[in-house]
Structure formats: structure tokens, C-alpha cells
Amino acid sequence: MISKIKEKHLWNVADTMTTMRMAASVFLLFLPLEDILFLVIYTFAGLTDVLDGYIARKTGKASEFGARLDSISDLLFYSVLLIRLFPMLYQTLPGEIWYVVVAVIFVRLTAYITAAVKYHRFASLHTWMNKLTGALVFLLPYVLLVSSGVEYCWSVCMVAFAASAEELAIHLLRTDYLVDRKSFLQKK
């Protein structure tokens, strides 16, 4: 009888970068927002987010483990960002925007739950819309240095809602799980 043996994942540079982003995210919890060190570490975390996947693909080390680690790291990074920025944003942004934020979170959680039920795993897709949302959210602390960010935050919310809805639609209507699916329209 022939059995399938799962290949053991070998730790690599991309995994190390992703883990460094996780450590940087935790460190951000303890720095004042207005401190230059906050922005330096924040920028470092953002750069590792961009580079880890690129390095993994270019070195042939892209893996399901790495993609999951990246998704968990993204979740940690954006959770820390939310924890740190929420008090300031709550005081600055109009009340109506919070209804949209709740809608985005609801659709995103629905997508995660749908994927968990359908694929029996945590599944977060790396679509173009999710990448755009991540980039826009990442820029938020820099925008807040020069303005109240109200108009910018409305734009981010609209893109985030579209990205969350696209991911939910993919999980609902597609039969296969591809972590690197770039859009709903992608055939394979």
C-alpha cells in the first residue's frame, strides 16, 4: 500500500522575516504613537510584510505553512494597529463610520467562518483587494501625522468592505482553496 507522506517544512528566511514582523507588532504595543521609534519599527514591520512573500516565491520556498504564518502575522499586526489607533480614531472620526467598520468586520468574520467550515482550516486569501486594503491601512499612521484622516478613513473602509465581500464570495462560490488567489475572476 502506498501512502502519502507530507513533506516536512524547512524553516527559511521568509519565515524568519514573518516572525520578525510578529515580534515587531508586539513591541509596538509598548511604544508611544508619537515616538519616532514607533514609526521606525512600524515601517520595518511593513517592509517585512512586503518582502517575506516575495523572497519565499523567488527562492522557491513558498509553502502553505509560510502563507498561514503570514496570515497570522498580518492578523496580529493589524490587531495591534487597531488597539493602538482605536482610541485616537474613536475621538476623531464621525460616528457613522463605525457602522461601516462593524460591517467590514462582520463580512470579514463571515468569510473566515465560511472558509473554516468549507475547507476545515483558517483561510485568508491574498487577493489584490486584500493587498490594497492592507496597504491603505498600513499608511494610516502616516496620514494621521498630517491630517485628521476622516476622508482617508472613509476610503479605506469602502475598499476594505469590497475586499471582505470579494473574499466571502470566493469562499462561497469557489470549490477550491488557493491561498494566492488574486481575485474572484481568477479562473485557477
How far, in Å, CA of 9 to CA of 61, rounded? 9
Share of the chain above pLDDT 70, in %: 93
Q: Are 90 and 39 in contact (CB under 8 A)?
A: no
What is the per-residue pLDDT across 101-115, written as a single tens digit (0 to 9) for each? 999 999 999 999 998
Split at pLDDT 50, 70, 90, the class of 174 is confident
Q: State residue 57's pLDDT score.
A: 87
pLDDT over 50 at 5, yes or no:
no
Name residues whose C-beta falls within 8 Å of residue 174's C-beta, 6 or more positions apart in sequence: 181
Determine the average pLDDT of the residues in 131-151.
90
Query: Higher pLDDT residue, 10 or 80?
Result: 80
What is the per-residue pLDDT across 36-62, written as a single tens digit (0 to 9) for each? 999 999 999 999 988 998 899 899 888
Query: Distances from the Cα of 130 to the Cαs of 31, 121, 134, 151, in angstroms?
Result: 27, 19, 6, 20
Name residues whose C-beta falls within 8 Å of residue 94's C-beta, 6 or more positions apart in sequence: 150
Query: Higher pLDDT residue, 9 or 80?
Result: 80
Split at pLDDT 50, 70, 90, the class of 132 is very high
From the centroid of its chain, how far is CA 184? Answer: 18
How far, in Å, CA of 158 to CA of 78, rounded? 17
